[in-house]
Amino acid sequence: MSKPLILIPTPVQGEQHRSFSMGKGYIESLIAAGGVPLLVPVTVDELELRALYESASGVLLAGGGDVDPAEYGEEKHEKTGNIDRDRDHAEFLISRWAVADDKPIFGICRGIQSLNAALGGTLVQDIPSQWSTALRHNGHYDNAARDEVLHEVSIESGSRIEAIMENRTVGVNSFHHQAVERPADGFVITSRATDGVIEGMEMPGKRFVVSVQWHPEEMSRIRADMLNLFVKFVSACTV
The full DSSP string for 132-153 is: ---S--BGGGGT--TT---EEE
β-sheet bridge partners, residue 41: 10
How many CB atoms sit inside 10 A of residue 51's CB?
A: 10
Q: Calculate the alpha carbon distances from 214 to 5, 51, 167, 200, 222 in Å.
A: 23, 30, 16, 9, 15
In angstroms, how far is CA 106 from the centroid of its own chain? 6
Q: Is 97 exposed, middle or buried (0-12, 13-18, 19+ CB in 10 A)?
A: middle
Counting Cα atoms < 13 Å in the Cβ hemisphere of 206 gives 23
Q: Is residue 109 flagged as an active site residue? A: yes
Q: Is 189 exposed, middle or buried (0-12, 13-18, 19+ CB in 10 A)?
A: middle
Q: Is residue 217 flagged as an active site residue? A: yes
Which listed residue (89, 202, 215, 237) is catalytic? 215
Judge whether 175 and 125 are in contact, CB under 8 Å: no
Which listed residue (181, 217, 218, 237) is catalytic? 217
Q: Is residue 237 flagged as an active site residue? A: no
Which listed residue (109, 151, 181, 202) is catalytic? 109
Distance CA 209, CA 68 (A): 22
Q: Minimal CA–CA distance to 59: which of 32, 35, 89, 33?
A: 35
Query: What are the percentages of helix, strand and coil residues in the chain, rounded to 5?
Result: 35, 25, 45
Catalytic residues: 109, 215, 217
